[in-house]
Structure 1
Amino acid sequence: MCELNLNFYNFIIIASIFIGTTFGLLLIFTKRANRKANILLGIVTFIIVFWSVWILSLDFQITNYLTYFYLIPLNYSLALGPLLYLYVKKITDFNYHISKKHGVHFLPLIIELTVHIIICRDALINNITAVETDTYLKLMPIIQFLAIISIITYSIYSLKAIKFYHFWLKKNYSTNDAYSLRWLYRLITIFAIIWFLWTPYTIIDYVVFDFQLGISDYYPIYVLLSITTIWISAEAFLRPEVILLETNKPKSIKKENPSEEIAKKASWLKEQMETNLFYLNSELTLKSLADNLDIHPNVLSKLINDGLGKNFSDFINEYRVNAIIQKLHSGNYDHITLLGISFECGFNSKTTFNRVFKNIKGITPLNYKKSIKKSLHNFK
């Protein structure tokens, strides 16, 4: 019979199976703007769910009840890295299309499934369970190392894609906290570290214990992986969707020395900003400003980069910070909080406001306000 010896760890894994299944289904079947990307993440979640089921089947010795349960392929670890990477690429670039050529990323998965077939064949011939076969003891450590290398490698590529996305975001959005993927960057980093920690486990198990460590010895790693994966899925589903206004990223333009014409246009641009106060719009983007000025976004980007030597975010935020400073010096806004003034001047996030202000002025907004009051007191 099936032995259900519940302990803290397998209780957590059972809970993760139900929670993971819920979020996996939500990601795959909920119709949202990022649905194609969410489907990829939903599959990642189900891979961890299947893996958790496999772990419990060993711990509960389910083959005593379902003799051939081990024949069901539940391990797809070599698909985790590619799926996570493709999810990141899709979420950071709406123009990124997944085609048949991307199937090459999943060729190692064929090796994993082939190993599963070989192990099952050995088990059937010898009338034993899969984990008791010689092929399992010889081949599974190899699969584990391949999975570790694959996931860490694809995690690194995913982190690079997010960093590149943030760089592009800064160039195209004046206020970008709503579009930030720092949460995903942190979680993928944690995910990669946990898989890296799997390495000493595998080495010690294979070299010292001749691959004889039980499931319970691996439970801490299993639990951490399950929690982290579900955490990523929950964050992705529950957070507001990242819907970029500019989905066509401009191609890089060869940089040239600023001409007299560009300098004149740069002066015109500054006049337009000062006259029309476009920077007060907290949702201002490169495209929306270009539409207001009736010029192409690529032309505007070149004008800001070459004519003013800045990126779009710095260009807009400097106006906002200067507007805040003017209000602070006027003395007419003492009844309004710093955050309230920042919102009036185009910021829509306290974190962004504090960070940008300090980057530009080299001092926090609060200390700057105190310095104004101190100078006024000394003047009196």
Structure 2
Amino acid sequence: MGNGFFSSLLIAGAIQGFAFNIFTISKQKKVSKVILYLNLTVFFLSLNNLQAWLIDKGYSVQNYFIQQFEVAWYLLLFPMFHMFLLHYLKVKNRGNRVLPFFLSVFVIELIVRSAFIIHSYFFTDNFDQSFIQVYERVEEVFNAVIGIGIITKSAYLVFQQKELYTFITDYDDIYWIKIFLKLGGLVLMFWVFAIFINNITGKNWAYLPLRLGTSVLLYWIGYQGFFRYRIVKDRISLRNHLIKEGHEKSSILERKKSPLTKHEKDFDKIHNYISDKQRFLDPKLTMNTLADELKMSPSHFSKIINGHSSSNFSDYINSFRVEQAKKLLSDNHFGNYTIASIGLECGFNSKSTFYSAFKKMTSITPTEFRKVN
């Protein structure tokens, strides 16, 4: 490639990828299939970058066979990503043939390449490499075709078959996966362009955008995949805990000994309904939705909340969420869970909203609260 910047990107991406593998595997007591396939995706992409960097720098050995033995590591990242996607989305009975197919192709290509290298070494004059060069071009075109095929299959699953992964959408909007697939599509276009230019002109400069794109993808899929999965896993566990335990009725509401007025009875009804049904855990909850569920008019509902809770509807609902978050943050059983996952599972729609509401009601951040409890 002859470009220091792109060469530095390659080796930096490879090193970071291997570091990611070591970090994520060492942090897991039991490696799930999601983490396994995510790490394999990053690993093969890192291997491909490392190999490209070594070739670019001219590092080689004297052995003729090894000099010519360029491995298509990138081929394996396609099925690994697809398997990661299936397990992350919890899509069952899909893609069982994808991994065996790609592994078979990978092994066959290694054998065929080895045969051409042996032929070049023993049966040609002056180690003629023309057959190897032709094979490399054919191999790359074939790999691009099946690679585009599996990425298209993955994109179709994410964008068109949402009914297959309804479970995971309760915990993750998978927006980051959609961005990755769009970026991946762009990188594949770079690849097709590079193959075309290389076959026409024999020049490798067209691979520069591809190298940049793969480095970006490596960062994106690695860190987004790992931390998103951790949040999702925490949220699933938290939700199971909340469903099993049930929400204890809040002690904020003190009942009067004197007879309750109609408005007080209505507020009591609203308060108990939200508490008993854990409606505050729904991040999409609105005043109109609750009013409709309780057979009240929105105006009457609003008047009751504003008159008896000493706050508006948003703050009133957030008070339930903050109380639930405080319980989870002070429970040692959930000490390793991310604060973001706790906030999201308590009904907040983002980490920033959770932090803002928590500090407003407690005067400290969730992080500070966890440290002192």
Asked whether the two chains share a fold, i.e. TM above 0.5, the reply is: yes
1:349 aligns with 2:323: no
Question: 2:347 is matched by which residue type in structure 1?
Answer: N
- Give the CA deviation at 1:203: 1.5
CA contact (8 A) 1:148 1:199 kept: yes
Question: 1:85 is matched by which residue type in structure 2?
Answer: H
Mapped partners of 1:123, 1:335: distance in 2: 85
Q: Flag structure 2 segments of 5+ consecutive residues without an equivalent.
A: 241-268, 322-345, 354-373
The higher relative CO (CA closer than 8 Å, separation ≥ 6) is in 1
- Give the CA deviation at 1:167: 4.2
Mapped partners of 1:59, 1:128: distance in 2: 24
1:53 aligns with 2:43: no
Q: 1:237 to 1:315 in 2, by over 3 A?
A: closer
- Give the CA deviation at 1:47: 1.3
Q: Please state whether the residue corresponding to 2:307 is helix, strand or coil.
A: coil
Mapped partners of 2:162, 2:311: distance in 1: 32
Give the RMSD, CA atoms, in angstroms: 4.4
- Give the CA deviation at 1:31: 2.0
Aligned counterpart in structure 1 of residue 186 of structure 2, from 193, 202, 223: 193
- Give the CA deviation at 1:61: 1.3
| TM-score normalized with structure 1 length | 0.61
Q: 1:315 to 1:29 in 2, by over 3 A?
A: same
| TM-score normalized with structure 2 length | 0.62
Q: 1:336 to 1:16 in 2, by over 3 A?
A: farther
Question: Which residue is equivalent to 1:124?
Answer: 121
- Give the CA deviation at 1:183: 0.8
Question: Which residue is equivalent to 1:367?
Answer: none
Question: Which residue is equivalent to 1:340?
Answer: 315
Question: 1:204 is matched by which residue type in structure 2?
Answer: I
Question: 1:25 is matched by which residue type in structure 2?
Answer: I
CA contact (8 A) 2:42 2:222 kept: yes
- Give the CA deviation at 1:217: 3.8
Q: Flag structure 1 segments of 5+ consecutive residues without an equivalent.
A: 248-271, 285-312, 355-380
Between 35-44 and 116-125, the greater mean CA deviation after superposition? 116-125
Mapped partners of 1:94, 1:325: distance in 2: 40
Show CA shifts across 1:191-218 (max 9, x none).
13211331122112213x1xx213x441
1:146 aligns with 2:142: yes
Q: 1:317 to 1:189 in 2, by over 3 A?
A: farther
CA contact (8 A) 1:280 1:344 kept: no
Show CA shifts across 1:263-312 (max 9, x none).
xxxxxxxxx9997445534557xxxxxxxxxxxxxxxxxxxxxxxxxxxx
Q: Please state whether the residue corresponding to 2:221 is helix, strand or coil.
A: helix
Aligned counterpart in structure 2 of residue 205 of structure 1, from 184, 198, 203: 198
Matched length: 289
Question: 2:184 is matched by which residue type in structure 1?
Answer: F
Mapped partners of 1:343, 1:165: distance in 2: 34
Question: 2:149 is matched by which residue type in structure 1?
Answer: T
Mapped partners of 1:164, 1:282: distance in 2: 31
Q: 1:95 to 1:134 in 2, by over 3 A?
A: same
Aligned counterpart in structure 2 of residue 135 of structure 1, from 131, 141, 148: 131
Mapped partners of 2:116, 2:145: distance in 1: 22
Question: Which residue is equivalent to 1:254?
Answer: none
